[in-house]
Amino acid sequence: MVKNCKQYTFIGLILLLGLLLASCQAQMGATSAGQAQAAEVDRAARTYTLVTASMDGKMAFVGKGGEIDGQTNPVLRAMPGSTLQVTLINGDGAEHDFTVSGLDEASERISGVGSQTKLTFKVHQDGAFRYHSSVPGQSEAGMVGYVGVGTGYDEVSLPEPSDSSDTTAANSEYTSGASASESAASGSDQNAESAADIVFDPADLPKPVGNRGPEKVHIKLETVELTGQLADGTTFKYWTFNGKVPGPFLRVRVGDTVELSLTNKTNSLMTHSIDLHAVNGPGGGAVATQVMPGEEKAFTFKALNPGLYVYHCATPMVAHHMTNGMYGLILVEPEGGLPEVDHEFYVMQGEIYTTASFGEKGHVETDINKLLAETPDYFVLNGAVGALTDQKPLHANVGETVRIFFGVGGPNFTSSFHVIGEIFDRVYDQASLTSAPLTDVQTTLVPPGGATMVEFKIDVPGRYLLVDHALSRLEHGLVGFLVVEGPENREVFDAPEMDESGH
């Protein structure tokens, strides 16, 4: 009996050990299953939201929500085999997309504040893959980050990307983006005393073409980004043709063949281009001249139509490039040239939208939201407050005939061009040089992207004001002086001598 009990006890122990072993195996199986499930979850979709932004003249992707909230160009982390879903929200109104180099993935392009798109794609191998906006100039302006795939990319750091031609996966280390506030703070300590003079001298025009036959003309332009003086004590980051606002006055003859080359300075942040309204061809030349920093491009066109035409940069966002100063005039003289006058002047009107109020001292940048809302802080002639008053006023003498080539770079507001105290003897409406001019005109309308040519003889000495007769704009900086010297003409005008001229 005792022997049987011992046998049963031994059998029971064996059964108990079996049960314990089975339980452990079940637990281990459950753990493995849980680990597999966790790994599968880790390879599931990772979702990120990026908002486009413009800060201090630079562009960026800013993270929204989660671990990347507030980061500029954040690292988007994933594991091999996982799916990424990136929502791109337009926060600045410019045209953008989200492109991942090395993975051949790209979203659709979006424009307008609040518009959005989603890009969903899988990543299969470890690495750091560059993402950027493929819109010309935007990666150079700062819209670059990385997708970091694999656990090995969590703690190491990659250098900030700078070469826009790099379309392969990066193998070096990376860092997550700085905060938006840190990015906005950089480069804002410009010294007003060292700011460049960006004002184009209104009397600095090429000589008239005159009565010659068609020729081949070579024009070289350079796009220059620089900090210039906007107002007394206020500086602004201008984008220019040849370092001035407006760009050079270009002068050719109808029938001329024009070879135009455009160079973008190496230290530029943006891609630039040129669209000449005098050109018959795609984009007015802009399609052929999307020039990245350090590059040069050229094209040839035939000047088929006489007239006075605006030219401007046409790289998206076009209005941004124009408000920063990238506009000018090209004159296509008719056969036989223009009638001779005593003085020719070159004047253009523009608006500037800034991160501060009118007259606030310090360094200011373009405010994209104000630009899209069309609420400028400044209205200017030849690029800056005081450009044609304190700095480079127009000069003439009594009895002389003056011709003003006037254009609106805009990008948004029509000008009611008027010279206080004068009447235009001739107005070539809409800059049509082959139509009979209007005569005896007080004020003429010039739309953004449009021009006119006015002529008048000066009878009385004094200081004449060039204005937009939407006169509130005078309080935002828009006024120029025409200073006329010579003998009094009391038969025409007889009044006590005054220091000021105006209505």
Q: Where do the structural domains in the chain lie, given as residue ranges?
A: 46-185, 216-485
Tell me which CATH homologous superfamily contains domain 216-485. Cupredoxins -  blue copper proteins (2.60.40.420)
Alpha helices by DSSP H, 158-253:
180-185
- Name beta bridge partners: 230: none
What string of pLDDT tens digits covers the 503 residues of the chain?
Answer: 444 545 555 555 555 555 555 555 655 554 454 444 444 444 567 999 999 987 655 788 999 999 999 999 999 998 898 999 999 999 877 778 999 987 889 999 987 778 999 999 998 888 888 999 987 667 767 889 999 988 655 444 444 444 333 332 222 222 222 333 333 333 444 455 689 999 999 999 999 998 999 999 999 999 999 999 999 999 999 999 999 999 999 999 999 999 999 999 998 888 899 999 999 999 999 999 999 889 999 999 999 999 999 999 998 889 999 999 999 999 999 999 999 999 999 999 999 999 999 999 999 999 989 999 999 999 999 999 999 999 999 999 999 999 999 999 999 999 999 999 999 999 999 999 999 999 999 999 999 999 999 999 999 999 999 999 999 999 999 999 999 999 999 999 998 765 554 54
Nearest CA to 479 out of 341, 382, 353 is that of: 382
| C-alpha span between 214 and 193 (Å, rounded) | 46
Q: What share of the chain is helix, strand, coil (3-state, %, to 5)?
A: 15, 40, 45
Q: Which two tokens stand for residue 90?
A: 């337009």
Separate counts of helices (H) and strands (E) for the chain? 4, 29
Note whether 478 and 446 are within 8 A (CB): no
| C-alpha span between 410 and 413 (Å, rounded) | 6
The rounded Cα 461 to chain-centroid distance in angstroms is 42
**DSSP-derived secondary structure for 380-400:** EETTBTTIIIIIS-EEEETT-
| C-alpha span between 438 and 100 (Å, rounded) | 57
- Per-residue three-class SS string for 215-271: CEEEEEEEEEEEEEEEECCEEEEEEEECCEECCCCEEEECCCEEEEEEEECCCCCCC
* pTM exceeds 0.85: no
One-letter amino acid of 279: V
Phi and psi torsions of 54, nearest 5° = -125, 125
Which residues, in sequence order, are CB contacts of 31 under 8 Å at separation 6+? Answer: none
Element (H, E) at 328: strand 327-333
Q: Do domains 46-185 and 216-485 have the same CATH topology?
A: yes
Tell me which CATH homologous superfamily contains domain 46-185. Cupredoxins -  blue copper proteins (2.60.40.420)
Nearest CA to 275 out of 161, 142, 409, 387 is that of: 409
